[in-house]
A and B are shown apart, each in its own frame.
Chain A
Amino acid sequence: MQTADSGAGRPPLLEARGLSKRYGATQALDSLDLAIEPGEVYCLLGPNGAGKTTTINLFLGFVSPSGGQALVSGMDVSTHDRETKHRLAYIPEQVMLYRNLSGLENLEYFAALGGKGSLGRERLADILVEAGLERDAVDRRVSEYSKGMRQKVGIAIAMAKEADALLLDEPTSGLDPKASNEFSALIERLRHGGVAVLMATHDLFRAKETGTRVGIMRYGSLVTELGTDEIGHADLERVYLEHMHD
């Protein structure tokens, strides 16, 4: 496993130590070791059921580990639920919002829950625009939004929170190429701002474009890890398929 330099002795922003999760007879995640530093975008690749979403859920504290630890800035998620969630932002595959409220009202709500209630409406509207939403869509009801627009509100929620780490679960699934590209550009911006990103995805192209490191998972285990600088698109696809056919 390749581990990024922690730098100045600080613990990695996101770290898995022997992290395991078992659902009955199924081993969803098996002794995962992982460390993600500020400014890194770590893409988890793998087929359905490989353990990508389980990994993210463990970092969010949505499920309890059967073994090992999920750490955020050195704090165990199991014992520091509130503190770690202050440092995390999460964008699910489908960002679901309150349909009867506007994008801005949704952002106000989730930002306030995340501890950013002091941000004014104007600042939040600016964040929505920074996240790629059209200015005139800000006050429209979410029921009128496309999936891409909802994803942008999800990104705005993460941006408003100013979290240290971002957990993304198939964030570009179902987005058109333009929206996916805009999304990647935003992630790039956040990365440059020092945010650590853990992204589960099926999209090898997006992983290569956006990620700094790529981990390939299968049957709950991390089978290989690559730096995206080291390989091209074709190589990544080849390596991925090799592991899938083993």
Chain B
Amino acid sequence: MTARTVLRNEWRLLMADRPLRIALGLFALLLVYALANGVVWTRFQERTVEAAQAGNVEREQALAQELADIEAGAEPASRFSDPRLPNVMGGARGRHTAVLTPGPLTALTVGQSDLLPYYYDVNIYTNESSFQQNGEVESPLNLMVGRFDLAFVVIYPLPLLVLALSFNVLSEEREQGTLALTLSQPVSARGVVAAKLAFRALLAVGMVLAVSLVGLLVTGGFGAPGRILLWCAAVVAYALFWFVLAAWVNSLRRSSAWNATVLVGAWLVLVVVLPAGINIAAGLLHPLPSRVQMITAQREASNEAVNRRSELLARYLEDHPEMAEGVVADEPGLGALAWAATDAVNRRLEEVTAEHDASRAEQIALVRRYRFLSPALMAQGVLLDAAGTGDARFAGFQSQVRAFAERWRDFFVPAIVAGEQMDASVLPSVPQFNLAEEASGEVTRRAAVPLAVLGGLLLLVGAGAGVGLGRVRGAS
């Protein structure tokens, strides 16, 4: 009875409070704008992926057609793009674009999908430089702050709305004098505050979840119920954390102004200062090597490789004796020489990028370790992971593309080194990229820890608020 009564009264108070209605209206606009942003980005990404996949088919058909024409007696269109040459078929002309389709909840959380590459052109020349140039060499936290999407609204403005709705949930009752009359009824301050916050939580969280639902309807993202549940759980847990924090601050029985100051301070520390501090610490403790250094190393390796092609080929054949057959040591083909140089450049690049990757991995590890200091970081991590727009899915994609590029090289390089020609019969055997999505259980396992910590924090602060409110018996 108390809960229903308070909920009804809260609704009336809301309807009678114009500034609050305006604030909620503005928040609703923010949500709609953020969703529209996400939907626009998802559509763009879908179109790009479709175009890339269509490009794969077109290139394969063009190769097949020209090979058939050559077999029928026609001359290749150009000596340098003769599809029978393995470095042409496996090179830029016959390249395969490996794509990562948008995550199921990308419209809700664009996350890093607008910063990290979601397609790579794979050919025999694909090397670490391809991955580095396509990717953003950037701090993981900077990567985490992306487009103005629903996740951004949840992490940054939603707590402010929650605080605006609840910073004076009890103090206002005392200051306007209604608390005495309320507590003279057979109700507890804890029960009244809980019901008042429940109404406000329903309002704020309900708006976010309703707009999210619309987003899923528009983009057809209902195919991943597990991820949707994780997304909703993160939104609810994060919003409730701010509500119980407001309840706890109210239970200290200070003025509304004091509550507002403390809560906004908490928002600043937990949402802005701590994440920024962790970002700075990650950069200071594990600085990324200079990008200029990487590019210089790549150029030096390239020049050196060109000058020492014969020597490099001999070394390459020592390392790959299975490819020595067919290569005339004194008069090696141009393809073999070129490939030896390419391989040498690739190795040098791997050394240089390994240092970069190690620093970046340490940065990510540091951020992951200290994310537990900030509910905002924990919630954001889960939102990104659930949406499939976080580090993990992109890292998985890149790792699969690396493996695919290796299979691609393994398919064409022996023919290059041996100076063989290809024909149409090999086309069906050319490697194809098929993304293996990670199991939803894996995503859940990753999200479980921050969600559990967030839940624990929620219970802890909630218990503190409950104890404090239990002591509120009168008006003073």
Residues of A whose CB lies within 8 Å of any CB of B are 57, 60-64, 81-83, 85-86, 88-90, 92, 94-101, 105, 109-110, 112-115, 117, 141, 154, 157, 161, 167
Tell me which residues across on chain A come within 8 A of B183, comparing CB atoms: 60, 62
Evaluate contact between B474 and A85: CB separation under 8 angstroms.
no
Evaluate contact between B13 and A98: CB separation under 8 angstroms.
yes
Which of chain B's residues 170-194 have a Cβ closer than 8 Å to chain A? 176-178, 180-188
Tell me which residues across on chain B come within 8 A of A83, comparing CB atoms: 186
Evaluate contact between A101 and B186: CB separation under 8 angstroms.
no
How far in angstroms is the closest Cβ of chain A from B210? Answer: 26
Q: Does B291 contact A (CB under 8 A)?
A: no
**Could you say which interface size class chain B belongs to?**
20 to 34
Asked if A82 meets B474 with Cβ closer than 8 Å, knowing A96-B176, A98-B13, the reply is no
Nearest CB in chain A to that of B179: its residue: A96
Q: Does B296 contact A (CB under 8 A)?
A: no
Evaluate contact between A96 and B474: CB separation under 8 angstroms.
no
Evaluate contact between A114 and B186: CB separation under 8 angstroms.
yes
Q: Does B74 contact A (CB under 8 A)?
A: no
- Taking a contact as CB atoms closer than 8 A, the residue among A64, A101, A113, A141 that contacts B182 in the complex is A113
Evaluate contact between B180 and A114: CB separation under 8 angstroms.
no
- Taking a contact as CB atoms closer than 8 A, the residue among B5, B184, B186 that contacts A82 in the complex is B186
Nearest CB in chain B to that of A105: its residue: B12
- Taking a contact as CB atoms closer than 8 A, the residue among A85, A94, A105, A112 that contacts B177 in the complex is A94
Evaluate contact between A96 and B13: CB separation under 8 angstroms.
no
- Inter-chain CA distance A88–B183, complex, in Å, is 11
Asked if A63 meets B186 with Cβ closer than 8 Å, knowing A97-B178, A101-B13, the reply is no
- Taking a contact as CB atoms closer than 8 A, the residue among B2, B9, B13, B181 that contacts A92 in the complex is B181
Q: Does B473 contact A (CB under 8 A)?
A: yes
Residues of B whose CB lies within 8 Å of any CB of A are 1-2, 4-6, 8-9, 12-13, 16-17, 176-178, 180-188, 473-476
Tell me which residues across on chain A come within 8 A of B12, comparing CB atoms: 101, 105, 109
A-B contact pairs, 15 of them (CB 8 A): A61-B474, A62-B473, A62-B475, A62-B476, A83-B186, A85-B187, A88-B184, A92-B180, A97-B178, A101-B9, A101-B12, A105-B12, A109-B5, A113-B2, A115-B185
Interface of B is mostly: helix
Interface of A is mostly: mixed
How far in angstroms is the closest Cβ of chain B from A246? Answer: 30
Tell me which residues across on chain A come within 8 A of B182, comparing CB atoms: 110, 113
Tell me which residues across on chain A come within 8 A of B5, comparing CB atoms: 109, 112-113, 117
Evaluate contact between B176 and A99: CB separation under 8 angstroms.
yes
Nearest CB in chain A to that of B180: its residue: A92
How far in angstroms is the closest Cβ of chain A from B22? Answer: 15
Evaluate contact between B181 and A95: CB separation under 8 angstroms.
yes
Tell me which residues across on chain A come within 8 A of B181, comparing CB atoms: 90, 92, 95-97, 110, 154, 157
Nearest CB in chain A to that of B17: its residue: A100
- Inter-chain CA distance A37–B25, complex, in Å, is 55
Evaluate contact between A113 and B185: CB separation under 8 angstroms.
yes
Tell me which residues across on chain B come within 8 A of A141, comparing CB atoms: 16
- Inter-chain CA distance A62–B471, complex, in Å, is 10
- Inter-chain CA distance A90–B6, complex, in Å, is 19
Tell me which residues across on chain B come within 8 A of A110, comparing CB atoms: 181-182, 185
Nearest CB in chain B to that of A63: its residue: B474
Evaluate contact between B473 and A85: CB separation under 8 angstroms.
no
- Inter-chain CA distance A161–B184, complex, in Å, is 11
- Inter-chain CA distance A57–B177, complex, in Å, is 15
Asked if A114 meets B185 with Cβ closer than 8 Å, knowing A62-B473, A109-B5, the reply is yes
How far in angstroms is the closest Cβ of chain B from A170? Answer: 13
Given contacts A62-B183, A85-B187, 9 further A-B contacts (CB under 8 A): A60-B474, A62-B473, A63-B473, A83-B186, A86-B186, A96-B180, A105-B9, A141-B16, A157-B181
- Inter-chain CA distance A83–B187, complex, in Å, is 10
